[in-house]
Amino acid sequence: MLIRNVRKTLDTIAEHNEDAALALMRAAECTGDEVLRQQMLRVIHSLNQDALDLRVLRDDIALGSHKRA
């Protein structure tokens, strides 16, 4: 049960990161400040990479729990 809750929490955080990245992408498209736009794009990349890493961790936890069963 704990492992399922951890996996669900990791997935939720990953989804929130992706949602934040999309919102930031829309904002980056609206800015005329190129320096700010580049900073925003780096943050977007980090949010998406973190979401990917969280999903990999979630999958690793799932595989580990199946091996023990």
pLDDT (tens, 9 = 90+) of the chain, 69 residues, equals 889 999 999 999 999 999 999 999 999 999 999 999 999 999 999 999 999 999 999 999 988 866 665
Name the pTM for this structure: 0.85
Nearest to 15 by CA among 54, 44, 57, 69: 54
What secondary structure letter does DSSP report for 33? -
Each residue's pLDDT tens digit, 33-43: 999 999 999 99
Rounded to whole angstroms, the Cα distance separating 30 from 14 reads 25
Helix axes 2-30, 34-68, angle to 10 degrees: 160
Which amino acid is it at 3? I
